[in-house]
Amino acid sequence: MSRRCAITGKGPMVGNNVSHANNKTKRRFMPNLRTIHVTLEDGTTRKIKVAASTLRTMKKQSN
């Protein structure tokens, strides 16, 4: 089960935790994934994982 957006392909990114003393340790920034139900052209319903930012963009473009 991958942590990747099914539409945009957005996945985890690598960065650093930075303490007050400027010590750095590696961390991962995970995408904000949501499971949505999508109806396909043949009438079947599928569940896909989509990033929240992708959902916002889809909502804006549908209006």
pLDDT digits (tens, 9 = 90+) for 2-54: 899 999 999 999 999 999 999 999 999 999 999 999 999 999 999 999 999 99
Report pLDDT for 2. Answer: 87
Is there a domain that residue 57 lies in? yes
Burial of 5 (0-12, 13-18, 19+ CB in 10 A): buried
pTM, to two decimals: 0.80
pLDDT at 62: 85
Domain-embedded: residue 25: yes
* 6 within domain boundaries: no
Boundaries of domain holding 51: 13-62
The label of the residue with tokens 């590696």 reads 26
Count of structural domains within the chain: 1
Q: Is residue 18 part of a domain?
A: yes
Could you give the CA distance from residue 44 to residue 38 in angstroms, rounded to a whole number? 8
What's the rounded Cα separation, in Å, for the pair 21 and 23?
Answer: 6
29 found inside a domain: yes
Report the CATH number at residue 21: 2.30.170.40
